[in-house]
């Protein structure tokens, strides 16, 4: 199979780029850099992977985890040498977005549940692809996804959507 062409690369970037950035954000502070590097690696492949989207999610996951660990080490090192001062600005409560509240809620979930939710909702990966990505079974990936959604619904006091009963004749 030949290397990936620029049209296919552009299509993958358009379709999966934003979801990949969101996916990487849970592990690092520079998700755009990680996603860009994943696409560079894809362009360098001698053959197109069987499932390019799942391949990209795997490369982004590994890169983001690695970058996140590196950033944490640097931050600890810098904090141990820096004099801590008071914050100059205090964010106003009115400036808080619902998106921020949801992001914070996602961060409170166990990593497996958060990963499954982001990969499924924003990455549009199948449970099979999520299972492959996280090294688990499809049923476990689905269980993590359901547990995470249940926890989020409970936190935001959102009832589970119920299917209305069909009228009997």
- Residue 82 has what pLDDT? 61
- Residue 110 has what pLDDT? 94
Assign 46 to helix, strand or coil: coil
Q: What is the dihedral of CA 54, 60, 65, 69, to 10 degrees?
A: 170
- Residue 42 has what pLDDT? 95
Whole-angstrom distance, CA of residue 133 vs CA of residue 49: 14
Residue 60, judged by CB atoms within 10 A of its CB (0-12, 13-18, 19+), counts as buried
- Residue 27 has what pLDDT? 93
Instruction: Please report, in tens digits, the pLDDT of each residue of the chain (169 residues total).
Output: 678 899 999 999 999 999 999 999 999 999 999 999 999 999 999 999 999 999 999 999 999 999 999 988 988 887 776 655 445 445 555 444 377 788 888 889 999 999 999 999 889 999 999 999 999 999 999 999 999 999 988 888 777 665 545 555 4
Q: What is the dihedral of CA 154, 158, 161, 167, to 10 degrees?
A: 120
Could you tell me where the DSSP H helices lie in 85-137?
98-108, 111-121, 127-134
Domains along the chain with CATH numbers: 1-80 (no CATH), 104-159 (1.10.10.10)
- Residue 144 has what pLDDT? 96
pTM here is: 0.61
DSSP 8-class letter at 137: -
């Amino acid at each position: 199979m030949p290397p990936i062409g620029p049209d296919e690369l552009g299509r993958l970037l358009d379709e999966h780029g934003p979801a990949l950035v969101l996916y990487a954000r849970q592990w690092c502070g520079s998700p755009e850099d990680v996603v860009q590097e994943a696409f560079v690696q894809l362009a360098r492949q001698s053959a197109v992977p069987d499932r390019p989207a799942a391949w990209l999610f795997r490369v982004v996951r590994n890169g983001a985890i690695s970058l996140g660990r590196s950033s944490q080490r640097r931050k600890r090192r810098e904090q141990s040498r820096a004099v801590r001062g008071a914050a100059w600005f205090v964010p106003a409560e009115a400036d808080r977005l619902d998106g921020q509240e949801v992001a914070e809620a996602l961060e409170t979930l166990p990593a497996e549940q958060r990963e499954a939710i982001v990969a499924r909702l924003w990455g549009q990966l199948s449970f099979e692809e999520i299972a492959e990505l996280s090294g688990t079974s499809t049923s476990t990936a689905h269980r993590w996804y359901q547990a995470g959604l249940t926890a989020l619904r409970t936190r935001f006091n959102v009832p589970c959507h119920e299917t209305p009963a069909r009228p009997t004749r």
